[in-house]
Structure 1
Amino acid sequence: MTSTRVNTPFTRDTTAREVIQGIDLAGRRAVVTGGASGIGVETARALAAAGADVTLAVRNPDAGQEAAADITATTGNEHVLVAPLDLADLTSVATFVANWDGPLHILVNNAGIMASPEMRTAQGWEMQFATNHLGHFALTTGLRPALAAAGGARVVSVSSAAHLRSPVVFDDIQFERREYDPWLAYGQSKTANVLFAVEATRRWAADGIFTNSLMPGAIRTNLQRYITDEELDRMRSASGGGAAYWKTTEQGAATSVLVATSPLLDGIGGRYFEDCQEAGPNQAGSRAGYAPYALDPEAAERLWQVSEDLLRA
């Protein structure tokens, strides 16, 4: 990390619309994975409101069409498209990449699964790592030419405070030798999201592509479909929060939109943001800030190589 931390006028209560106010995205093209619900749809809505052409990359095209129609109705922007994308299916990812034509200015890697029961892809990969990291890795590297053609592209890697639960365990990423733990698997995948931003920026900054990661905050969405209300309440209590600490989806999308569009981040990458500010290192007993292992450049380079090797296998 550099000593100069990005400071913004926004807070944890700021909405995505407030973050993007005054920013003109006319002529810009954006992709939001998981853009049919939760903070994904609100991220897409804010980008569309600023004039961007937005593609919702979603597993369920019907839900995507409903979301696109709603975004158009609320923003007046008719350039909201839907494309199928299943991040756990590399054929689906490859098809999306092959069908993309022209420059891409903003890619928001937002989709994900959280604390799921043990599941595996056709390749035998642990599902959370495969979906949250490897699918987005394949998508983003596949779209690199489109991002480079944009001349100043932003990639947004949506992580989580859950990255504090686990580094990437390179000796057993797929839980082949250790007992599966849904939260450790989720935490590992969210650390991978941060490490991806570090290494992508190192490799691609010369192409004008900058990638940052973020923690959106605690928001009630479909992401928590595998988690009981009791467990959510325990998590909230452990973080020192209460009912007031739940963000709305509009507030939850704000940090994604900041990272995607703010001129304060021009030429800046490899950083971790939360509550619309660049975060500092995590302090013991807190769930805020980043774990040092998540911004470790050696781990970031290693993860990139491991990811390439897995996708080639």
Structure 2
Amino acid sequence: MLANFRGEVAALSAALIWAAASVVYTGVGQQVSPLVLNLVKGLIAIALLLLTLLLFGKLLPSASPMPVLLLLLSGVIGIGMGDTAYFAALNSLGARRALVLESLSPPLGAFLALVFLQEQLAPLAWLGIALTIAGVTWVVLERSPQPNGTLTHPPLRGIIAGLVAAVGQAIGAVLSRAALAGTDVDPLWSTLIRLLAGILILLIWFSAQKHPIQKLAPLRSHKLWGIIIMAAFASTYLGIWLQQIALKYAPTGIAQSLSATSPLFVIPFAIATGEKVSLRAVFGAAIALVGVWLLFVR
């Protein structure tokens, strides 16, 4: 039965991986700029993908030009622009507020897929998307007490970066869906194409920076390299591969909504480590899980 929901299962698996990776990247982002972090993790993932494709004998698959062009555009917009903006939002807003803005991506992706791909969703699926995103947002918006008891206002630059990330990833997802749905393009190979396009843009962007070599100084740390390699393996190599599987076998809005459930996976980890979890967080998770259930039974 799971074979009928392989896209949905892949999206939830990606969300689980990204939940753990977001915590790691928040810490790493204090030492490495968003552009450098996105570039390095992408290069590591490309090396892993090339090795995997070589082992599977799929290094040079046949594909028509249009899906390849769509995947290249998806990589430029979704990875080159969207992911870099997301890391900037993480640095500026923190994981919680950045994830709130990220929750705009699934409904936007579903709307764009409806307009440009004529991808129709049943009313129950739209309800599931709405409940999933509402529950996730409810969990993420839970207020954290400030040390001095004051409220903090998010900087405008971080909000803009978060919005750019949401739009970029929504457009990237729709382009990937257009390239993958109804074609014989392999998700693993499409992951490589997207990453190559995204990294090319990042390399051009990086080269245009003032004193680019100086921005690589934090990478002299072997410990930091180890953390980035492990995170890149999980979040970029496995995570984007799973996302491509999700977009191949599930409609855009559903795949994006399930991929956005990362904050829910943080709750069990918090409980396991003895952290106190509020009733609000549990209630929000319950709402989101109802939405997830609707996406499976639609």
TM-score (norm 2): 0.30
More strand by share: 1
More helix by share: 2
Which structure has more RCO (C-alpha within 8 Å, separation ≥ 6)?
A: 2
TM-score (norm 1): 0.29
